[in-house]
Amino acid sequence: MITILAGGTGSVKLVRGLISQTRDVNVICNVGDNYWLYGLYVCPDIDTIIYGLADILDYEKGWGIRKDTFGFLRQMEIFGEETWFRIGDRDAATHLIRTNMLKNGKNLADITKWMCEKFAVEAKVMPVTDNTIETRITTNKGEMHLQEFWVKYKGKDKVEGIQYIGADKARPNPEAVNAIHDSEMVVIAPGNPLTSIGPMLQIKGIRKELAKNRRKVVAVSPILGTKAFSGPAAEYMQAAGIDVSPYGIAQMYSDVCGSIVIDSKDRLLTKKIQNLDMKVYDTSIKMTNKISEDALASFVLKNARV
């Protein structure tokens, strides 16, 4: 059994690759960027994973459902509502059903399991916690939710800090803890280390379980050279005083992770990372199509497994 901690567009690519190699996969999803919009509870990372595994994800955008329509949003615009968060019509149905189930007493873990059944997704997809965590970005223009910073304002403001509201009190999903404990390998996906993976590592029970099983935990770097593959990861890392490099990623994860996969172009950092008591493997980590997704997943499974 393989477990992967996932969040963001880089994660779904590796998740899809892993499932092409082995069917017994657990996916623990970030909830820090969940967002209430129009009275609907939106879970971007959970939905991206489910849509990706159901083969309906819009891969060009990296989110939402392929060939979705936007009549709902056009009507909201007529009503004078803000429409910067692009919810498609089929996507809105997911959020509406989830919100109704929450109001009827279901927890997020049970709802996610039900959603997987409806979308015929065989992998076990689960939220890292049923509690609320909110990733908030402090900028030179004030504090705001991650979605507002990145989607509404397009990440243009200078990042001064990141907070994970509620993470210190959040109880880990017991199924997530058990998955980490029982798996022969735990993979930290190449998601944004501070906003996709960071909120999960801020949950004490998750970090403790990963640290206990450190030797079987492997991270895949989201950084090649001094640049992130996508999104504002580099900007967040700079704001947090973290070196924007695979070495900086290794430092961030060193207490919970025994191995890291970096790009072959960064192999000069191998010795430096090994000094953190981490094993280092290098290959091409750029995932541009299904072939490269499968190749990276195969490399991770064959080389980094304890």
Each residue of 123-161: pLDDT tens digit?
999 999 999 999 999 999 899 999 999 999 998 889 999
Number of H helices and number of E strands within the chain? 13, 14
User: Is 214 in contact with 188 (CB distance < 8 Å)?
Assistant: no
Helix (H, G, I), strand (E, B), or coil: what is residue 39? coil
User: What residues of the chain score a pLDDT lower than 50?
Assistant: none
Find the farthest-apart pair of alpha carbons in the chain and give their distance in angstroms, rounded: 59
Amino acid at residue number 137: I
Instruction: Quote the distance between the C-alpha of residue 102 and its chain's center.
Output: 22
Beta pairing partners, 137: 144, 162
Sort 120 into a burial class: Cβ within 10 Å, 0-12 / 13-18 / 19+. Answer: exposed
The single residue listed with the structure tokens 């891969």 is: 59
Q: E strands along the chain, which residues? A: 2-6, 25-29, 35-37, 40-42, 124-127, 134-139, 142-145, 159-165, 185-188, 217-220, 223-224, 227-228, 259-263, 279-283
Residue 306 confidence (pLDDT): 67
User: Is 305 in contact with 184 (CB distance < 8 Å)?
Assistant: yes
